[in-house]
Amino acid sequence: MEASITLKKVGKLVGDKTILANLTFGIEKGSLVAIIGDNEAGKSMLLRVIAGIEYQEYGQIFINGLDSQKRRNEAMLSVGFVPHELDLDPWLTLEENIRFIGMLYRESMETINTRMVQLSRELHITTFLQKMVKDISPGIIKKGMIIRALIHNPDILILDDPTAFMDAESYRQTWDMLLRYKKEKTIVYVSQSLQEVEEAHDRILVLEDGKIALDGSLDRLLGSTFEYHQFQIEFEELSDELFNKLAKLPKVKNPSRIGDSIHFYGQQRGVFFEVLNAAASSVMKDIRVKKLGLQDLMDAKYAKDGIH
């Protein structure tokens, strides 16, 4: 597959602090890439650097094969960017804000109007187009920002927390639209919602201290890191003898004890039945089985140490 965005040894400094360190990766055309990480991991800065809002001190970024610094104006034609903060001019209407950016990209008025109407219908904000931005709720403004980013029909859409400030209905409408554009556009986004990332991605980049800690689809990340299930059994009385007996079962990983409950991990569900057999003579009050997800992956203990 052809690369839409390519980073080669990209580094970014703010003062003397390294925000992005030696990042090298490519993003394929038509893919949906989610970037996650802790606060201060460098997610938003990575988006800003790719979108051309800030230059990188080191390395090169290629947008559709064009060096984003040397051929900035051509490269930026292919990029639409939605920042995290609400940045529409409050003293213009939503329509004026969108139209102004469309005109800056030299789109004809007819094209701008056609696209604006089509996109605002898809996002259900047609009735807000004539309103001053200062009088509109943040969730609608965010939708307007997505339309503004799409008004010049870019190949690459870069979104910093695209559904921030949105209610459940707006969230669904926005993702319905973005997923429809997925095949024709490359979409790169940052989100604080791991559920959102689990639902919408081809690939996940986990950023940690400005470096890529993990890279791949959720299944692949979980598979390569730990394809485990999490188990918890609560007994009426969990004796030390019983806990030690269960903890020593070969397939039981990372056993721990909280009161009368035993908590452990196992690669297959089968391990659960082995534990049940071993503890059959004791009275059990509650059992829980959970397949690990992105939240568990992001948990610092497991992301850094894994399960041994």
Partner 1 sequence: MSAILFVILIPILLHLMLTTLMKNVFINSLDNIPYETWAFPGVILLICIMSAYAVLYRDLFDLRIHKKSFISITLAPYTKFYLVFGFLLSAIIESLIYGVLSMIILSLLLSQQLELHAYFAIPVYGSIFLLLFGNLTLTLSILTERITTFISITIILFFFMIFGTGILFEFEFYPRMLGMILSYNPFSLIISELRGLVFLKQINWVWIVIPVLTGLGWTWINGLLIKRSLKQ
Binding site for partner 1 (CB under 8 A): 51-55, 72-74, 76-77, 79, 81, 83, 85, 87-90, 97, 101, 104-105, 148
Nearer to partner 1, 154 or 266 (CB): 154
Number of neighbours of residue 85 by Cβ within 10 angstroms: 11
Q: Do the strands 32-37 and 186-190 form a parallel or antiparallel pair, or are they unpaired?
A: parallel
CB 63 within 8 A of CB 75: yes
* Rounded CA separation 51/149 (Å): 11
Nearer to partner 1, 48 or 203 (CB): 48
Q: In angstroms, what is the minimal distance from the CB of 303 to partner 1?
A: 31
* Rounded CA separation 202/196 (Å): 12
Q: In angstroms, what is the minimal distance from the CB of 83 to partner 1?
A: 7
Local structure of 8: helix, strand or coil: strand
Nearer to partner 1, 38 or 57 (CB): 57
Nearer to partner 1, 59 or 255 (CB): 59
The angle subtended at Cα 201 by Cα 196 and Cα 207, nearest 5°, is 80
Q: In angstroms, what is the minimal distance from the CB of 296 to partner 1?
A: 36
Q: In angstroms, what is the minimal distance from the CB of 145 to partner 1?
A: 8
Give residue 151's identity as a one-letter amino acid code. Answer: I
Nearer to partner 1, 79 or 222 (CB): 79
Provide the token pair at 224.
């390569």
The DSSP 8-state label assigned to residue 56 in this structure reads -
Nearer to partner 1, 104 or 289 (CB): 104
Q: In angstroms, what is the minimal distance from the CB of 79 to partner 1?
A: 7
Phi, psi at 184, each rounded to 5°: -95, -15
Provide the token pair at 190.
């940052």
Distances (CA, A) of 123 to 32, 77, 119, 120, 138: 19, 23, 6, 5, 14
Nearer to partner 1, 81 or 128 (CB): 81
CB 200 within 8 A of CB 188: no
Q: In angstroms, what is the minimal distance from the CB of 53 to partner 1?
A: 6
Provide the token pair at 33.
């890439």
Q: In angstroms, what is the minimal distance from the CB of 182 to partner 1?
A: 22
Which ranges constitute the DSSP H helices of 8-104? 43-51, 72-76, 94-104
